[in-house]
Amino acid sequence: QVQLVESGGGLVQAGDSLRLSCTASGLIFSRYVMAWFRQVPGKEREFVAVISGGSSVKFHADSVKGRFTISRDNAENTVYLQMNSLKPEDTALYYCAARNGLIKKAASDYGDWGQGTQVTVSS
């Protein structure tokens, strides 16, 4: 059974940085596409970033491009989201997700999810 556990969220001020981590178990990690999504109450879950199993392909949402960077360490079964220059509009519950297949950006294409970690950015 796939388990994903996120960590690293918190309360920060605008302009600060945070690094989120998601550690996976129950899967051959290097074979899985890993992604980050975020969600605020009353809104759809929003794509943030995705990375291929071997890290050769990465995509970031336009809203975070140049500020957030996704990376992974297959030896540690962990995917990261480095978030710099945080803005109040980045406030959300951040989820990591895994899929065994092609890179996708829609939440509906992912079957395995973590419990989420809250990021709150004050102005």
42-61 burial, b if ≥16 CB within 10 A, otherwise e?
eeebbbbbbbbbeeeeeebb
For 32-72, write each residue's pLDDT tens digit.
999 999 999 999 999 999 999 999 999 999 999 999 999 99
Taking the C-alpha atoms of residue 67 and residue 17, their distance in angstroms, rounded to an integer, is 9
For 61-107, write each residue's pLDDT tens digit.
999 999 999 999 999 999 999 999 999 999 999 999 999 999 999 99
pLDDT reported for residue 16: 98
pLDDT reported for residue 44: 96
- Sign of the torsion angle spanned by Cα atoms 91, 62, 82, 49: positive
